[in-house]
Amino acid sequence: MNNFIFENATKVFFGKGCVKEYLACLTKCSKGTVMLAYGGGSIRKNGIYDEVMEILKGEGREVVEFSGIMPNPTYAKVLEGAKLARENNVGVILGVGGGSVMDCCKAVSIAARYEGDVWADFWARPGIFDFEPLPVGVIVTASGTGSECNGGAVITNEALKIKTGRDYPKCNPKFALLDPTYTYSVPQFQVVSGGFDTLSHMMEIYFSEPDEDNVSDDIAEALMKNVIRNLRAAIQNPQDYTARSNLMWDAVMAENRIIKLGKKTDFECHQMEHQLGAYMNCNHGAGLAVLHPVYYRHIYKDGLAKFKRFATQVWAVPTDGRTDEEIALAGIEALEDFILEIGLPVTLRDLGIDEAADLKAIADSCACVSGAYRVMTHEEILEIFKECY
């Protein structure tokens, strides 16, 4: 395995009833106003808002609400949250929601304590901290991104048409409350797109060097099979606690940095999807589902041994009478069949991207990452977009 340094500062409270049991004591550790951050208001409909507010008010905490966080949180929304935090003497940000809410809260935690150009100094390039970001705690209501156990925040700068992320350990949530029953009311499409985002994180880490025997790849294979099995179970029964709890922890394990240890990681598909999102505001997990099989058909020969292993270990593809290339391609086909099975789109048209989209401009805006089996060119990214259309 390659050399690494491991750090994860988030304390996780997992299981049914964990919010009622632990939230009050966790918020006692902070002073000032609590900023309650959430998205479009689904937590008001499913009872989670009332439960959280009852706990906070019971502790005598002042609460300011920061709502309306969108699925692809914008830089403008981050600045709005930072202004609200400064004006209300916020001492802790409590994000209640999925990855977009959590990412936005982490970005706000920086912007609220920084006087300079936050985008230029922390997103356009890696930032340097000479201050402490506002502490963040999260209550997860939709799993998939794994944002609850890292310092990553993906933000869209609408003016620049750039969607990008940074992972700062200082922005790791201080605590994360994960109650699988909180995910029961999530619509099925969001469940499967979140689940595929988790699977995508695992694949982007797995399909990179080193390829010799290593702990990270072995764990990744077990996790990928777990996601596939439990996503099928959750589709069959949305209130299957075992399936929902496994998917929730799968998301954490994909992005708490453990399976990244000693790996280069790829994440070219994420770069491509981020820019599709920046231009077209499409669903993240759905966009990844469209891109992955086509991208993998472009690079599988460059990582043939790993793609063969993926086919046999994750999808149980038989090897008898097949060449290594045939086995690898059968694994990619199994992935594509799974995407169809769970009801995710397989073309850009299915995503709602029409002929008016400037695919060349989107391709030219994509980063070409160095950790992949083969570094893409902007011309090849455009080819992939066209094949996906």
Q: What is the pLDDT of residues 76-121, one digit of tens each?
A: 999 999 999 999 999 999 999 999 999 999 999 999 999 999 999 9
Q: Which long-range contacts (CB under 8 A, 24 or more apart) does 346-352 make?
A: 346/289, 346/290, 346/293, 347/290, 347/388, 347/389, 348/276, 348/290, 348/385, 348/388, 348/389, 349/389, 350/286, 350/290, 351/276, 351/280, 351/282, 351/283, 351/286, 351/287, 351/290, 352/280, 352/282
* CATH number of the domain to which 40 belongs: 3.40.50.1970
Domain count of the fold of the chain: 2
- The verdict on 195 and 67 lying in the same domain is no
Q: Which two tokens stand for residue 246?
A: 């496994």
Residue 369 lies in a domain: yes
Whether residues 98 and 68 fall in one domain: yes
Look at residue 212 and give its three-state secondary structure.
coil
Count of other CB atoms within 10 angstroms of residue 356: 5
Would the pTM of this model clear 0.75, i.e. be above it?
yes
Domain check: are 201 and 344 in the same one?
yes
Segment 21-28 long-range contacts (CB within 8 Å, at least 24 positions apart): 22/175, 22/177, 23/52, 23/55, 23/56, 23/139, 23/177, 24/55, 24/58, 24/59, 26/137, 26/174, 26/175, 26/177, 27/55, 27/56, 27/59, 27/61, 27/92, 27/94, 27/137, 28/59
**Sign of the CA dihedral 38, 39, 40, 46?**
negative
Phi, psi of 222 (to 5 degrees): -65, -40
Asked if 167 and 251 sit in the same domain, the reply is no
Task: List, in order, residues 6 or more apart from 111 with CB less than 8 Å away.
Answer: 78, 79, 81, 82, 118
**Rounded Cα–Cα distance for residues 85 and 93 (Å):** 8
Q: Measured between alpha carbons, how far is residue 375 from residues 18, 28, 274, 286, 302 in Å?
A: 44, 48, 17, 23, 10
Place of tokens 């491509």: 272
Q: Are residues 201 and 77 in the same domain?
A: no
The DSSP code for 74 is B
pLDDT recorded at residue 30 = 84
Give a yes or no: residue 255 inside a domain.
yes
Rounded to whole angstroms, the Cα distance separating 140 from 60 reads 23
4 belongs to a structural domain: no
Same domain flag for 168 and 281 = no
> Is residue 285 assigned to a domain?
yes
pLDDT of residue 283: 94
- Decide if 208 is inside a domain: yes
Verify that 178 and 209 share a domain, yes or no. no
pLDDT in tens, 272-283: 999 999 999 999
Q: Do residue 40 and residue 172 come from a single domain?
A: yes
**Residue ending a domain, choose from 159, 183, 207:** 183
Tally of CA atoms within 13 A in the half-sphere of 164 that contains its CB: 17
Low-confidence ranges of the chain (pLDDT < 70): none
Final residue in a domain of this structure, among 183, 206, 223: 183
The answer to whether residue 160 sits within a structural domain is yes
Do residues 179 and 192 both lie within one domain? no
Q: 205 and 278: one domain?
A: yes
Which pLDDT does position 28 carry in this prediction? Answer: 83
376 and 254 both lie in a single domain? yes
Flag whether 154 is in a domain.
Answer: yes
Tell me if 76 is assigned to some domain.
yes
Residue 320: Cβ within 10 Å count = 5
| Structural domain range at position 334 | 188-388
What does the pLDDT read at residue 83?
Answer: 98
pLDDT at res. 355: 85
CATH code: domain of residue 192: 1.20.1090.10
Question: How many beta carbons lie within 10 A of that of residue 180, not counting itself?
Answer: 23
Domain boundary (183, 210, 237) is at: 183
37 and 140 housed in the same domain? yes
Q: What is residue 345's predicted lDDT score, i.e. its pLDDT? A: 97
